[in-house]
């Protein structure tokens, strides 16, 4: 990790760029960076928490699928707020897809979609394949969704698939893609938001202790990124990062509240983005804690 660059003074990219243009500028600045470095750089160059989230999300996609194309992508799994294979209705028939995905991040700016689809024979247990659909492919269209109160600068859409052609990726769609992505997203989005806060702290001249503690958390993210996302210990290490961030939050809230109103409003609006997926993350942590033989009462 080129920490000297990532922790030194950096000027954010303009906030008014189209998302695909902002991401192209980020990639140009990243010059072949790995996923965790990309997430941290995204946070430093983001003018808003929403853009930091987007950069972390894209970095997680590249950690999941290193061969991903250069443009923005979106992972499309959930249907009716469920990720469980048994609850999904989208089907893969040969190399065509039929169904709908109810939540695709920044889909209207994406160049490609990772789409989970059922492909088991009739009468067998649910099984997922992971496929790639290019934006604008015949049979693939988007339905815009209302802006969310949280990170409203990053839109979402439904993806409708009516015989859309796709490429099938190797491996099981659940075990190799959908399941590990949750941990990768948690880690890379956290790194991006920590980096955004670090930049705000430098610009606002916070007491040195706060940026130093954020830098320490970023170093922890880099260590966690070195380990397989599905390992038991990885879940504990990631849980430790979130616990440290939670302990730091009151001091961060106080510091950002005393600085420029623009940043305070952005943080008040978007700070809950790090709580997304908290219940599932807590369940993974509980399972990992038990798997290591630790006291379940702690």
For residue range 106-123, list pLDDT tens digits in order: 999 999 999 999 999 888
Tell me if 44 sits within 8 A of 198, measured CB to CB.
Answer: yes
pLDDT, position 246:
95
> What pLDDT digit, counting tens, does each position of 257-290 carry?
998 999 999 999 999 998 888 888 888 988 988 8
Q: What is the DSSP letter of 137?
A: -
Residue 295's pLDDT band, with cuts at 50, 70 and 90, is confident
Task: Write down the H helix ranges in the chain.
Answer: 3-7, 19-30, 35-45, 49-64, 179-204, 209-225, 232-257, 261-270, 278-291
Which pTM does this prediction carry? 0.95
Question: What CATH number does the domain located at 73-168 have?
Answer: 2.40.110.10
Q: How far is CA 88 from CA 98, 127, 212, 281, in A?
A: 11, 10, 44, 21
Residue from 108, 112, 87, 63 nearest 228 by CA:
63
Q: How confident is the model at residue 15 (pLDDT cuts 50, 70, 90)?
A: confident
β-pairing, 96-105 with 91-93? antiparallel
Q: What is the pLDDT of residue 297?
A: 64
Ranges of each domain in the chain: 3-64+176-291, 73-168
Lookup result for tokens 């709908």: 100
User: How far is the C-alpha of 232 from the C-alpha of 241, rounded, in Å?
Assistant: 15
Averaged pLDDT, 98-105: 94
**Distance between CA 116 and CA 132 in Å, rounded?**
9
pLDDT band at 296 (very low <50, low <70, confident <90, very high): low
Say which residues have a Cβ less than 8 Å from residue 268's Cβ, sequence separation at least 6.
Answer: none
CA–CA separation, 170 and 37 (whole Å): 26
Q: What is the DSSP letter of 122?
A: T
* Mean pLDDT calculated for residue range 151-163: 95
Average pLDDT in the chain: 94
| pLDDT tens per residue, range 195-240 | 999 999 999 999 999 999 999 999 999 999 999 999 999 999 999 9
pLDDT of residue 277: 81
């Amino acid at each position: 990790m080129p920490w000297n660059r990532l922790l030194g003074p950096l000027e954010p990219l303009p906030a008014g760029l189209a998302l695909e243009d902002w991401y192209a500028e980020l990639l140009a600045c990243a010059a072949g960076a790995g996923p965790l470095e990309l997430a941290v750089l995204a946070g430093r160059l983001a003018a808003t928490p929403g853009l930091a989230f987007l950069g972390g999300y894209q970095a997680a996609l590249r950690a999941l699928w290193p061969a991903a194309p250069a443009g923005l992508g979106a992972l499309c799994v959930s249907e009716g707020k469920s990720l469980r294979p048994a609850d999904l209705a989208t089907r893969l028939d040969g190399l065509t897809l039929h169904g709908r995905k109810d939540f695709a991040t920044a889909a209207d700016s994406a160049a490609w979609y990772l789409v989970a689809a059922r492909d088991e024979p009739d009468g067998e247990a649910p099984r997922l394949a992971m496929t790639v659909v290019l934006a604008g492919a015949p049979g693939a269209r988007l339905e815009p969704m209302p802006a969310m109160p949280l990170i409203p600068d990053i839109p979402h859409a439904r993806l409708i698939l009516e015989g859309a052609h796709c490429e099938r990726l190797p491996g099981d769609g659940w075990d190799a893609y959908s399941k590990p992505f949750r941990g990768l997203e948690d880690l890379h989005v956290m790194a991006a938001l920590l980096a955004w806060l670090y930049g705000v702290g430098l610009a606002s001249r916070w007491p040195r202790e706060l940026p130093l503690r954020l830098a320490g958390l970023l170093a922890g993210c880099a260590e966690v990124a070195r380990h397989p996302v599905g390992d038991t210990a990885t879940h504990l290490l990631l849980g430790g990062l979130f616990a440290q961030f939670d302990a730091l939050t009151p001091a961060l809230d106080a510091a950002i509240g005393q600085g420029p109103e623009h940043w305070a409003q952005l943080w008040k609006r978007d700070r809950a983005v790090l709580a997304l997926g908290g219940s599932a993350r807590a369940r993974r942590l509980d399972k990992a804690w038990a798997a290591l033989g630790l006291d379940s009462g702690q």
